[in-house]
Amino acid sequence: MKIKAIFLLLFFLISGKMRAQENYGGGVDQERVNFGFHFKYISSEYKIQKISNWRGPFNDPNTLNPLIGSPLVSLSSPPTQGFGLGFVSDYKIGTNMNLRFTPGMIFSDAIVDYEFEDSNLFIQQVVQGTMIDFPLGIKIKSNRRKNFRAYVIGGAKYTLDIISKKKRDDSNLIAEAKFLKNTKNNLWYEAGIGFDLYFEFFKMSPEIKFSQTRRSVLLDFDRLENPYVAPIDKLFIRNIQFSLFFE
């Protein structure tokens, strides 16, 4: 009888624990609308499309002198690291589908390296990015298994670069001192995967997402006077983001 009593007690304790675990997450999945916040780590780089004669050298339109005398041998964009933070607004469409709006502030630079035939000539253009981020996505979730579920997410976002025009104004600089510049407003597409992990009073969701601008971000109005714009046809930004969402 004592053994049966012990087994019955263990059964009720385990059953109670399982029911408690199913309610973990603060009831966030039962709400039609819920809110939270997020942090992001970002690895960013350019996808560069070059013109046919990208090696140059390129001539100053006002003279026959080259803007930079040595031809290019390499044009590349190494990954750079950035971060972001913001809020979460989640609307429950159905049992396994949510609409997510996750606005935030992004601090992420991008780099283009110019390597010339002259071994002593290497120039790196750093394009600083401080952006307001407006992502809108559809989250498709698996069924919950205790305190875990997986999901995929896809959608689009709009970003507004708030770096002041004064910081990018190079109109009075000589050709070799000019900047590489991006457009201020950009549309992106993005897709990723993640996991919902349920704790007693909240839900945490680690997520990996790929993002890329839909159109070229190259600001090329000064192509004839800017040796850093001249060899580039189109310039796209692509990111890999690791995010932690708390709801």
pLDDT tens profile 72-116: 999 999 999 999 999 999 999 988 999 999 999 999 999 999 998
Per-residue model confidence (pLDDT) at position 155: 96
pLDDT tens profile 36-76: 999 999 999 999 999 988 988 887 777 767 778 788 999 99
Domain spans in the chain, listed from the N-terminal domain onward = 25-56+81-110+124-246
197: how many CB neighbours lie within 10 A of its CB?
15
Task: With a cut of 60, say whether residue 7 has pLDDT above it.
Answer: no
Task: Provide the total of helices (H) and of strands (E) in the chain, helices listed first.
Answer: 2, 12
Q: In 3-state terms, what secondary structure has residue 56? A: coil
In this structure, what token pair is assigned to residue 111?
């780099």
Task: With a cut of 80, say whether residue 117 has pLDDT above it.
Answer: yes
Chain centroid to CA 88: how far? 16
Per-residue model confidence (pLDDT) at position 23: 62
Tell me the fold of 25-56+81-110+124-246: Porin (2.40.160)
pTM here is 0.82
Per-residue model confidence (pLDDT) at position 92: 93
Per-residue model confidence (pLDDT) at position 129: 86
Task: With a cut of 90, say whether residue 246 has pLDDT above it.
Answer: yes
How far is it, in rounded angstroms, from Cα 156 to Cα 212?
10
Chain centroid to CA 227: how far? 28
